[in-house]
Amino acid sequence: MVLVLFICTKLLGKKQISQLSFFEYVTGITIGSIGAEVITGLDRQFLHGVLGIVSFISIPLLMDYLSLKSKKVRDLVEGEGTVFIQQGKVIEENLRKERYSTDELMELLRRKDVFAVSDVNFAILEPSGELNVLLKKSRMPVVQEDIKKRVQDEKPPETIIMDGEPVEKALQSIGRDIEWLREQMRKKGVSMSDVFLAQISQDGKIFLDLYDRTENQRELISLLKECREDFIKISRKLPEKEGLLFYKNAEMIEGFARIVR
């Protein structure tokens, strides 16, 4: 039986465990279970166990062949990559889809020696579970001899807000408190509950990644503000009666903007 399992393993190829698709992983577990049952089940026929293993071996080999011939089959069996970050913006919907938390995303980035989300141009989670990262051009590594200057060590940025909540330990490490953080958010016109992720760099620059709903809300408020200003400009150019009507409409738009806020 050990010889049969060895031959089957050679047939399956040289993929590492992390490179196996979900289908291949399940097949491997099943084959191992059948082999164990044959070895320990003394009252069962050896040939039946071998036939079962051969049957299960033929399925992944067939699927591998079909995957080489068809991208649709390949996507079905192996899965597709999921974009987590695009142009420095975390795609929250895809995180939820793959059931990844913010902490897990940051851990994957740190494994790639990336500590600031703002440095990332593109990040994709491969079907194997590995995160591949493309840095922004300004953050790509350079050879020290090319720039002809001394390179100083830089501390990684601190994550000060995560999932809309302040990270008090990070604030303490930079000598700040929650009141300071609230003031910084007020200056940027947002509240902490609107922030999906916030990091502060060594030079004090704050990077914000807002929840998708907050960004849409801010765009709507900006649009309403522009409409109100246009209505007021038009009201000044019209006769008093018509102008008053436009001015009242401008006030109504201001009321809608307050509700959205």
- Out of 139, 167, 186, pick the residue that ends a domain: 139
Q: What single string gives the DSSP state of each residue in 159-187?
A: EEEETTEE-HHHHHHTT--HHHHHHHHHH
Within this chain, do residues 246 and 206 fall inside the same structural domain, yes or no?
Answer: no
- Domain membership of residue 54 (yes or no) is yes
Q: Is residue 129 part of a domain?
A: yes
On whether both 124 and 168 belong to a single domain, the answer is no
Q: Which residue has better confidence, 251 or 152?
A: 251
Same domain as 71, residue 6? yes
Q: Best-predicted range by mean pLDDT among 10-19, 55-64, 178-187, 214-223?
A: 178-187
Measured CA to CA, the distance from residue 247 to residue 253 in angstroms comes to: 10
Same domain, 57 and 28: yes
Q: What is the pLDDT at residue 131?
A: 92
pLDDT at 200: 92
Residues 53 and 102 in one domain: no
The predicted-structure confidence for 193-213, as pLDDT tens digits, reads as follows 888 889 998 888 999 888 875
Number of domains in the chain: 4
* Residue 185 bridge partners (DSSP): none
Question: What's the domain range around 50?
Answer: 2-78
pLDDT of residue 248: 74
According to the model, what pLDDT value does residue 203 have?
86
Query: pLDDT tens digits for 96-150?
Result: 998 899 899 999 999 999 988 989 999 999 887 889 999 987 777 765 555 555 5
The pLDDT assigned to 16 comes to 46
Confidence of residue 184 (pLDDT cuts 50, 70, 90): very high
* For residue 177, pLDDT beyond 90: yes
What's the pLDDT band for 8 if we cut at 50, 70, 90? low
pLDDT of 34-92, one tens digit each? 766 666 665 556 676 677 767 767 777 777 777 777 777 777 767 788 999 988 889 98
Q: For residues 169 and 57, which has the higher predicted lDDT (pLDDT)?
A: 169
Which tokens go with 168?
């008090």
- Domain assignment present for 153: no
Runs of H (alpha helix) within the chain: 2-12, 22-40, 46-69, 71-78, 92-97, 102-111, 144-147, 168-173, 178-187, 212-237, 240-260
Radius of gyration, CA atoms only, the chain: 29
What is the model's pLDDT at position 243? 74
Distant-in-sequence contacts of 35-43, Cβ < 8 A, 24+ apart: 35/1, 35/4, 35/5, 38/1, 39/1
